[in-house]
Amino acid sequence: LVLGLPLIALLIAGARAEPVSSTRFDLILRNGTVFDGSGREGVRQDVGIIGDRILAVGNLSGRQATREEDVSGLYVIPGIINVHDHTVPESLTRPEGLLTQGVTTAIANPDGGGSVDIVKQLSPAGGLGLNYGAYIGFNAIWQSVVGNDDRRPSDAEIARMRGLVTQGLEAGAFGISSGLDYKPSFWAKTDEVIRIVEAGRGWHTGFPNHERVYPGNGYSSLAGITETIEIGKAAGLMPVVTHMNLQGASAGKVSQLFAMFDRSRSQGVPVGADALPYAFGTTALDQLLIPNWAQDGGREAMLARFKVPALRKRIAAESSEIMDRRWNGPGGVYLDQLKQPLPQVMKDMGDIDAGEAVIRLVEQGLSRVILYYGTESDMLDILRNPLTALSCDCGARNWTFGHPRQWGSYPHFLGRLVREQKLMPWKEAVRRMTAVPAAMVGLTERGYLMPGMIADITIFDPNTISDRATIEQPTLPSVGVRLVLINGKLALKDAERAPVPVGMRMIRSRHEASRPMDFRVDRHLDLSGRLPDGTSVALTLGQGADAERPKGKVSLRLAGAPIAFTPSILQTADRWASVTGIGRWPDGRVEALTLLVEQADPLDQGHPHLTVLIDGAVRADGGLQGRVGITRTPAGK
């Protein structure tokens, strides 16, 4: 006997056939200080979990659970979401460096990298140690079609690259990432990039770009960021300035940067941003230190140019200029594999100049470098901006060298910058690591700790959370993260990792929108109509900027049954909304319920569209015969 899918669904659903008021929870987290991710103050509460879902937040003192954890004195927050993740494939099953920071979800392929086959990439044989999704990378696509040479693609090649963008989005990508600073996609002209990524128009998704900073734009981050915004705007994608910082000629110009964001927003194109809590980065040794023209054609072509004395001299001189203009001089270059700053290496090589030393290191096969840029005060100002999500530009990797961010970013932010330097209140720090990045990449059921949301939860001690990793000892684990739950399952407890990987592969549907988080926005949703399968809905909900939950009336019938729906949160974007909460069936069964609402589905001739998710699975989906109204008003207007 083979069970049909609907029957299996019924059996699974039947396993939960009790009302929540009497159900035994799988897990209760007791007496923690709960920050829900919205920016509201922490409240001492209990959290009740069944399966992979948060079903109750409040006083659960009369309720029982199979397992309980007393988390008195600890902060309980939504799992941290890293939108700029460089985890290497061999560490995906055991992402120690991320779990000990409290990261539960990571989005791979930033800077345009990764595989053009993201389904394969997201399905490693050993399983996933955390939730893992991916961007589709422009650089990967460009390199696979155009190669390493500085040349113009044909119309047919542009069409092929557009096809790969669409294929990635159909596979569930969380945006189209790019790193136009990196060769060979550096050779792509602005209008070529637009023609290619424009294949994502209508997918409600983003364009996070590592901007170009090079002699051609006067070593200006602001010029590179202007291009990012221009591409997003022209291609119908939300521009995202990823690992935002101000290098070279742009150092010190934070107010100009945010004025650009305001201008773009007022033109109807909100810009997203993420930043890391360090004023230095790490990358491949040659990419951002050797002049671009010398990298044309790839590594072998570059090494051949080094062998021509006249070219070598020119490359060394230009490399020195890059260091002076962009990386605070040779002193801003640190060779982490050698554990030496470049000036020391120059001395040891016989007092040679900086550019010549870099060439020799590249020739010797050294691969990585740490680079100092801009100023510490710019970094702090960037982090202070309420738009900025925290990202770490880090990833799990079992390397013995590297940037301290790989093991330290979020505890560094929470311990040094939030607790010690009081950069911002805890509630705001939590929002920047959870709801803001979730909205930016189009997650709807993660990023908040509320009934109906997925039980990704990080629990830490606010008095002790700290990074220990340094430039000299970059792999020292952070301290203070006490408990990490991923999809309701224990992933880490007191520095012990769960034996079985508990993460899942994440796929974005095109009805989950990349959006700026609803910060200081009063929002309202009116929805009425039916789907071809008989699902019917009539709903009027409003949620003020500071309101704890939406208020209004909901009536929902699924497969003929009336569902009592208690919403926890209304999220909105331009002509898009989602409502997540708890639905109760007539027989008392209680399940997580999310409605995804499109006022005018761009990929379906502007018709309204409704998707109903029950415990994350699509229960109903289609063009809505009816009416949708979504309004968003800045608070106080």
> Could you list the residues that contact Zn ion (CB under 5 A)?
111, 210
Phi/psi class of residue 515: alpha, beta or left (left: φ > 0; alpha: ψ in -120 to 50)? beta
CB of 274 to Zn ion, least distance (A): 11
Q: For residues 209 and 328, which CB has a smaller minimum distance to Zn ion in the complex? A: 209
Handedness of CA 174, 180, 186, 189 (dihedral sign): positive
Which residue, 233, 34, 123, 56, is CA-closest to 592? Answer: 56
Round to whole Å and give the CA distance between 6 and 9: 5
For residues 286 and 186, the answer to whether their CB atoms sit within 8 Å is: no
Q: For residues 39 and 224, which CB has a smaller minimum distance to Zn ion in the complex? A: 224
Range list of β-strands (E), 394-469:
457-460
CB of 176 to Zn ion, least distance (A): 15
For residues 269 and 229, the answer to whether their CB atoms sit within 8 Å is: yes
Q: For residues 79 and 281, which CB has a smaller minimum distance to Zn ion in the complex? A: 281
AA letter at 598:
E
* DSSP states of 282-315: EEETTTTTS-GGGGTT-HHHHHHHHTSHHHHHHH
Nearest-10 Cα torsion for 444, 445, 448, 454: -170
What SS3 state is found at 516?
A: coil
CB of 457 to Zn ion, least distance (A): 29
Q: For residues 112 and 200, which CB has a smaller minimum distance to Zn ion in the complex? A: 112
Q: For residues 69 and 111, which CB has a smaller minimum distance to Zn ion in the complex? A: 111
Which residue, 441, 435, 472, is CA-closest to 453? Answer: 435
Q: Cβ of 3: how many Cβ atoms within 10 Å? A: 10
Q: For residues 242 and 572, which CB has a smaller minimum distance to Zn ion in the complex? A: 242
Q: For residues 210 and 432, which CB has a smaller minimum distance to Zn ion in the complex? A: 210
Q: For residues 210 and 403, which CB has a smaller minimum distance to Zn ion in the complex? A: 210
| Distance linking the first and last C-alpha atoms of the chain | 62
CB of 134 to Zn ion, least distance (A): 15
Which residue, 78, 88, 193, is CA-closest to 146? Answer: 193
425: which residues sit within 8 A by CB, 6+ positions away?
418
What SS3 state is found at 293?
A: helix
Q: Which helix (H) or strand (E) holds 526?
A: strand 521-530
CB of 179 to Zn ion, least distance (A): 5
Q: For residues 129 and 175, which CB has a smaller minimum distance to Zn ion in the complex? A: 175
Q: For residues 373 and 407, which CB has a smaller minimum distance to Zn ion in the complex? A: 373
DSSP state of 217: G
For residues 106 and 82, the answer to whether their CB atoms sit within 8 Å is: yes
Token reading at 95: 């992402």
CB of 393 to Zn ion, least distance (A): 6
Q: For residues 48 and 206, which CB has a smaller minimum distance to Zn ion in the complex? A: 206
Round to whole Å and give the CA distance between 439 and 127: 26
Range list of β-strands (E), 95-226:
103-108, 131-134, 136-137, 176-177, 206-209
Round to whole Å and give the CA distance between 446 and 103: 12
The CB-side HSE value for 196 (13 A sphere, CA atoms) comes to 31
CB of 208 to Zn ion, least distance (A): 9
DSSP state of 116: S
For residues 214 and 292, the answer to whether their CB atoms sit within 8 Å is: yes
CB of 576 to Zn ion, least distance (A): 28
Q: For residues 282 and 458, which CB has a smaller minimum distance to Zn ion in the complex? A: 282
Q: For residues 182 and 576, which CB has a smaller minimum distance to Zn ion in the complex? A: 182
What residue number has its CB nearest to Zn ion? 210
